[in-house]
A and B are shown apart, each in its own frame.
Chain A
Amino acid sequence: MEKKVFLLDAFALVFRAYYALIRSPRITSKGKNTNAQFGFTNAIVELINKQKPSHMAVCFDTSATTERHTDFADYKANRQETPEDISAAVPDIKKIIEGLNIPIIFKDGYEADDVIGTLAKQAEKAGYEVYMVTPDKDYGQLVSEKIKIYKPAYQGGDVEIMGPEEVCAKWGIKDVSQVIDMLGMMGDAVDNIPGIKGVGEKTAAKFLAEYGSLENTLANADKIKGAMGKKVQEGKEMAILSKKLATIILDVPVEFHEEDFKLSEWNKEALSEIFAELEFKTLGKRLLGDSFTIATPSKSVIEKEIPQGIQTDLFGNIVEQPEEKKESYKEVVIDDQLTDFVSVDKNINNTPHNYTSVEGEAAIKKLVAELNKHDEICFDTETTGIDANEAELVGLSFSVKPSEAWYVPCPEDQKKTKEILSHFESLFADKKKTWIGQNTKYDLLILKWYGIEVAGELFDTMLAHYVIEPDGKRSMDELSQKFLGYEPVSIEELIGKKGKSQGTMRDVEVEKVKEYAGEDADITLQLKKYFCSAFKEERCRKSI
Chain B
Amino acid sequence: MEYEGIKVDVDFLNDYSKELEKDAKTAEESVYKQAGVRFNLASPKQLGEVLFDKLKLDEAAKKTKTGQYKTGEDVLLKMAAKGHQIVDDILAFRELTKLKSTYVDALPQLINSKTGRVHTSYAQAVAVTGRLSSNNPNLQNIPVRTERGREIRKAFVPRDSKHILLSADYSQIELRIVAAISGDKNMCQAFLDGTDIHTVTASRVYNVEAKDVTKEMRYKAKSVNFGIIYGQGAFGLADNLGISRTEAKEIIENYKKEFAGIQKYMDDTINFARENGYVETLMGRKRWLRDINSANFTVRGFAERNAINSPIQGTAADMIKLAMQKVQAAMKKVKMQSKMILQVHDELVFDTLISEAKELKPLIIENMQAAMNLPHKVPIIAECGEGKNWLEAH
Contacts and interface: CB of A to CB of B under 8 A. Distances in A.
Contacts of A154: 65
B288 A83 contact: no
A49 B27 CA distance: 47
Nearest to A444: B3
B296 A80 contact: yes
Interface string A308-322: 000001111101000
A463 B2 contact: no
B318 interface: yes
Contacts of B284: 540-544
A471 B296 contact: no
A83 B296 contact: yes
A158 B66 contact: yes
Interface string B298-318: 110010000000000000001
Contacts of B3: 389, 445, 448-449
A81 interface: yes
A469 B287 CA distance: 7
Interface in B118-167: 119, 121-122, 124-125, 128-130, 136
B283 interface: yes
A389 B114 contact: yes
B295 A33 contact: no
A84 interface: yes
Nearest to B314: A470
Given A439-B125, A541-B284, 19 more contacts: A80-B295, A80-B296, A80-B298, A83-B299, A315-B328, A389-B2, A389-B115, A389-B119, A441-B2, A441-B124, A465-B125, A467-B286, A470-B128, A470-B286, A470-B287, A471-B128, A471-B287, A542-B284, A544-B285
A388 interface: yes
A34 B124 CA distance: 26
Interface of A: 22, 27, 31, 33, 80-85, 154, 157-158, 160, 313-317, 319, 387-390, 439, 441, 445, 448-449, 462-463, 465-467, 469-471, 474, 540-544
A80 B299 CA distance: 10
B334 to A, nearest CB: 18
B125 A466 contact: yes
8 contacts: A81-B295, A158-B66, A315-B124, A387-B121, A389-B5, A389-B114, A470-B286, A470-B287
A462 B125 contact: yes
B294 A83 contact: yes
B169 to A, nearest CB: 18
A313 B2 contact: no
Closest 9 CB pairs of A and B: A542-B284, A81-B295, A466-B125, A83-B296, A470-B128, A389-B119, A83-B299, A544-B283, A157-B65
Nearest to A542: B284
A467 B299 CA distance: 24
B112 A389 contact: yes
Centre residue among A27, A83, A85, A448 by max chain B CB count within 10 A: A83
A84 B114 contact: no
Contacts of B302: 22
Contacts of B184: none
B66 A467 contact: no
Nearest to B118: A389
Contacts of A540: 284-286
A316 B124 contact: yes
B207 interface: no
Contacts of A439: 125
Q: Which range contains the number of B residues in contact with the other chain?
A: 35 or more
Contacts of A313: 325
Contacts, number: 103
B297 interface: yes
A388 B285 contact: no
B89 interface: no
Contacts of A544: 283-285, 318
Contact of A315 (B283, B294, B297, B321): B321
B113 interface: yes
Nearest to B322: A317
Contact of B2 (A388, A467, A474): A388
Interface string B1-45: 011010000000000000000000000000000000000000000
What's the dominant secondary structure at chain A's contact region?
A: loop
Given A158-B66, A470-B128, A542-B283, A390 B114 contact: yes
B301 to A, nearest CB: 11
Contact of A470 (B2, B64, B130, B298): B130
A81 B65 contact: no
B324 interface: yes
B351 interface: no
A445 B4 CA distance: 10
A157 B65 CA distance: 7
Centre residue among B121, B124, B129, B294 by max chain A CB count within 10 A: B124
Contacts of B285: 467, 470, 540-541, 544
B280 interface: yes
A129 to B, nearest CB: 25
Contact of B113 (A80, A85, A160, A390): A390
B125 A463 contact: yes
A161 to B, nearest CB: 13
A541 B322 CA distance: 15
Nearest to B129: A470
A469 B288 CA distance: 7
B297 A80 contact: yes
Interface in B325-341: 325, 328
Contacts of A82: 295-296
Contacts of A471: 128, 287-288
Given A157-B65, A389-B114, A544-B284, A22 B299 contact: yes
Nearest to A388: B2
A383 B202 CA distance: 56
A479 to B, nearest CB: 11
Given A157-B66, A448-B3, A544-B284, A390 B125 contact: no
Contacts of A388: 2, 121
Contacts of B328: 314-315
A543 B283 contact: yes
Contact of A317 (B113, B288, B321): B321
Nearest to A316: B124
Contacts of B280: 542
Nearest to B295: A81
A466 B296 CA distance: 28
A462 B124 CA distance: 9
A470 B299 CA distance: 19
B78 interface: no
A84 B124 contact: no
Contacts of B121: 387-388
A34 to B, nearest CB: 13
Contacts of A317: 321-322, 325
Nearest to B65: A157
A84 B295 contact: yes
Contacts of B128: 470-471
Nearest to B299: A83
A81 to B, nearest CB: 4
Contacts of B290: 27, 31, 33
A449 B318 CA distance: 28
Interface string B93-123: 0000000000000000000111100010110
B203 to A, nearest CB: 37
Given A390-B114, A543-B283, A474 B322 contact: no
Nearest to A157: B65
Nearest to B329: A313
A81 B112 contact: no
Contacts of A448: 3
A463 B128 CA distance: 12
Interface string B38-73: 000000000000000000000000001110000000
A439 B124 CA distance: 9
